[in-house]
Chain A
């Protein structure tokens, strides 16, 4: 238990066939019965290799029956886990300035982006915007300070900037507190991500977002976790391999599967209006 309802879990995945990359996720069975039924997806938080063993850390928040069951698991239990699944973040070699924007548990997949960049390039310059509704819900601040400069926000102003992440980002941009050129990585509620997408258009910086969606399987069979994308953008660019795109007959709509084509997307390719309708 880290703080309030946030917890960390470490898996020994030594000997696993695939080593995950930041942004990918694992599907974990969080039950010994049929209720809860489906596996729960958790993004890779950290990957630690030492002395021949590989440990995977996930960060999670207890939000329901599945995560509550997980929080009761004792050290040493064998968890039924499949993965890694999905596309990870693209981290270009020449990136030096990054801005990570998270709300709550959204920091989980972003932390590892900062860490991966640090491993590649010691001269990295990371700014981390992290926050929550109230002061008591803030967590992981100290860990993030090891990666870069942290800007906190709370909705009620009880700590850090009073307001939400997009407002804080605009404030920092306008006060020129961020580098002139940077790449944004974000994870949090969809309405926050949509606002960040607008800001990315307005200020002209690139960004990648980690999306969350209700999944049945996690491997592209159930077709539940669709995310609408902007057709004109998809026709022009395809940064990630997207094997599961489904176009409407007239080409005016295109749906992707978050589990196969995501969960990481270019911030500008998501059709936020359709997603949030």
Chain B
């Protein structure tokens, strides 16, 4: 083998120089990490879900820690499409890494509108449909657990964009394969899985939820990794489009597990809160593993579980 291994991977027309990306919802709008990490090193950046109008998000007392995990109910707080384009998007002009914008909505019409606006932004390389947020009353997971709604949404958004289209799936379904198949069938370029599981934690002194009025939250972090890995493996056996594996990844070893199970790329979420510079170490760790195991190209590793 000569030179460095090839870590690049495609998701639709979008090329990633390496498979490590930020998972949406854990990254704000990019600037928050700029003092910790060179964003140009990343395979791709996914910014927090944007909706048509600004959203204030969930009530206070939004998070609590659980064993090896983080339980949070943010409720898609975001600045809305207009402010995102005016105030946040210009920041990415100086960054080379592909930019994926996660989009959300309370109706199919809202998803289509946001997709259409984002499709016209030159700096945006791909769209990720968030039909899996567990913490909103309308849209979010309620869309992602319904096969017909998922089909309709993916088809309608596909119609308005030629950019790479990724669908982020919820694990709160009986059979992830059906949802992955529908996304592929309707023209998605990739699927991200998994979004958060739904969880609770109770304060036994006050008998209130530790998330206050929100009661429930999304469970993320290392606690969900084995389950995420299982769903990635199941989906990978069913579909041919790339899978972005997400769920509790905190090391290059974790990332490689997902790649072997069938993910073409991986997203880092909660672990960024703990080690905001972790992604660069993970990219380097994957490269070292490939060199040590004489793997020339990432494609020789993806989906190779014996």
Q: Give complex CA distance A247, B79 in Å.
A: 9
Pair A214/B272 contact, Cβ less than 8 Å = no
User: Which listed residue, A29, A218, A226, touches B57 by the CB 8 Å rule?
Assistant: A226
CA distance A36 to B26 in the complex (A): 19
Query: With a CB–CB cut-off of 8 A, which chain A residues contact B36?
Result: 82, 219
B262 interface hit (Cβ, 8 Å): no
Provide the bound-state CA to CA distance between A39 and B65, in Å. Answer: 10
- B12 contacts the other chain (CB 8 A): no
Which chain B residues numbered 10 to 64 have a C-beta less than 8 Å away from chain A?
Answer: 26-28, 32-33, 36, 48, 53-57, 59-64
Q: How far is the CB of B75 from chain A (nearest CB, A)?
A: 9
Contact partner of A246 (CB less than 8 A), chosen from B53, B59, B79, is: B79
Q: Are B53 and A249 in contact (CB under 8 A)?
A: yes
B13 to chain A, nearest CB (A): 29
B60 touches A253 (CB 8 A): no
- Which residues between 255 and 306 of chain B lie within 8 Å of chain A, taking CB atoms? 270, 272-274, 276
Q: Give residues 201-224 of A contacting B (CB, 8 Å).
A: 213-224
Asked if A37 contacts B270 (CB within 8 A), the reply is: yes
Distance in Å: Cβ of A269 to nearest Cβ of chain B:
15
User: A216 and B250 in contact (CB under 8 A), knowing A38-B273, A39-B274, A222-B72?
Assistant: no
B276 touches A219 (CB 8 A): yes
Q: Beta-carbon contacts of A248-277 to B below 8 Å, as 1s and 0s? A: 110001110000000000000000001101
Top 3 nearest A-B pairs by Cβ distance? A224-B63, A217-B273, A248-B56
Interface status of B105 (Cβ within 8 A of chain A): no
Contact B74 A255 (CB under 8 A): no
Q: Check A246–B77 contact: CB distance below 8 A.
A: yes
Number of B residues with CB within 8 Å of any CB on chain A: 37
Nearest Cβ distance between residue A235 and chain B, in whole angstroms?
16
**Contact A255:B72 (CB < 8 A) given known A38-B274, A219-B276, A246-B77:** no
Cα-based distance from A35 to B223 in the complex (angstroms): 10
The answer to whether B222 touches A221 (Cβ under 8 A) is no
Contact call B274/A37, Cβ cutoff below 8 A: yes
Indicate if B69 sits at the interface (CB-CB under 8 A): yes
Determine the residue in chain A with the shortest Cβ distance to B22: A221
A18-38 vs B, Cβ < 8 Å mask (1 yes, 0 no): 000000000001000011111
Known: A216-B70, A246-B57. A37 touches B26 (CB 8 A): no
Nearest CB of chain B from residue A80's CB, rounded to whole Å? 8
Contact of A223 among B53, B65, B77, B212 (CB under 8 A): B77
Cβ contact within 8 Å between A227 and B60: yes
Q: Please state if B274 and A29 are interface contacts (CB–CB under 8 Å).
A: yes
Residues of A in contact (CB 8 Å), total 34
Q: Is A228 an interface residue (CB 8 A)?
A: yes
State A224–B64 Cα separation when bound (angstroms).
9
- Which applies to chain A's interface (DSSP): helix, strand, loop or mixed? loop
Cα distance A223–B74 in the bound complex, in angstroms:
7
Closest to B78 in A: A246
Contacting pair B56 A34 (CB below 8 A): no
Flag if A38 contacts B65 (CB, 8 Å): yes
Docked pose: A91 CA to B139 CA in angstroms: 46
Q: Which residues of A contact B121 (CB under 8 A)?
A: none
**Distance to closest chain A CB from B216 (angstroms):** 15
**With A38-B70, A217-B276 as given contacts, are A223 and B28 in contact (CB-CB < 8 Å)?**
yes
Q: Pick the residue among A219, A247, A274 that contacts B54 (CB under 8 A).
A: A247
A224 to B53, CA, bound (A): 20
- Give Cα A138–Cα B272 distance, bound, in whole angstroms: 38
List, in ascending order, chain A residues with CB within 8 A of B138's CB. Answer: none
Q: List 9 A-B contacts (CB under 8 A).
A: A35-B68, A36-B65, A38-B70, A39-B274, A216-B70, A221-B273, A228-B60, A249-B56, A275-B60
Judge whether B222 and A37 touch: CB under 8 Å.
Answer: yes
Please indicate the chain B residues that have their CB under 8 angstroms from the CB of A228 in the complex.
60
The interface centre, meaning the residue of A216, A227, A228, A274 with most chain B CB atoms within 10 A of its CB, is A216
Q: Nearest chain-A residue to B59 (Cβ)?
A: A277
